[in-house]
Amino acid sequence: MSDYTEEQIEIVVNGIENKVKDDDILMQLFQTGVAFSSLRSLFNGILADKELRMTSKDRKSKTADFLTDFIVDAETSASDLVAKIGALQDELKCSTTQAAASMRTWAKSAGMTLPKVVKEKVAKRVGFSGIIQTLLDHVMENKSITRKELKAYADANNIKGTYVTTVINIVNFAKKFNEPEVEEEMEEAA
């Protein structure tokens, strides 16, 4: 272990535990008087000594140990691969992206070709989402709602007034569009 002050160790440990960005932790270390050129090595040294993060070397080693019995051949399906990535993610305590990258690195070093995972296409949804959908759902539940009542509902749910205006315009357009005379005029024009 190198010579780290208690203050430096505390800054790094608290920062990691509180999910503070690395740059912000480095800034705090710099403010304690650590030379700029030493920041990254000091930070990484504390991370390694306190085992707050796994180094890439440790991750590679742990991945290789975990995947020792995993054989990739013509019968290995994409779903097998996805399941193994999930298990590796749990083992390494990392994100799915990191686990997949670790598996690709392992496979490449072992001279294996991993099967391609084909993502299923999701059918596109027609309609609204988010805040607009929330307000439209409220309007559909209370069809005789006034602008004032909708504004009160929005205020109670911390929704900006501009969304209320948009929803009122959508509702007014839908009402106008569904008036019988408008449909007849459109049919005649066609």
Prediction pTM value? 0.46
Phi-psi bin for 187: left (phi > 0), alpha (psi -120 to 50), beta?
A: alpha
Number of H helices and number of E strands within the chain? 10, 0
Q: Flag whether 78 is in a domain.
A: yes
Q: Residue 182: is its pLDDT beyond 60? A: no
94 and 62 in one domain? Answer: yes
68 and 41 in one domain? Answer: no
Give yes or no for a contact between 32 and 8, defined as CB atoms under 8 angstroms apart.
yes
120-141 mean pLDDT: 81
The residue range of the domain holding 164 is 130-177
Q: Flag whether 119 is in a domain.
A: no
Q: Residue 189: is its pLDDT beyond 60? A: no
In the prediction, which pLDDT does 37 show? 92
In the prediction, which pLDDT does 112 show? 83
Per residue in 9-38, pLDDT (tens digit) is 999 999 988 888 989 999 999 999 999 999
Looking at the 3D structure of the chain, how many domains does it have? 3
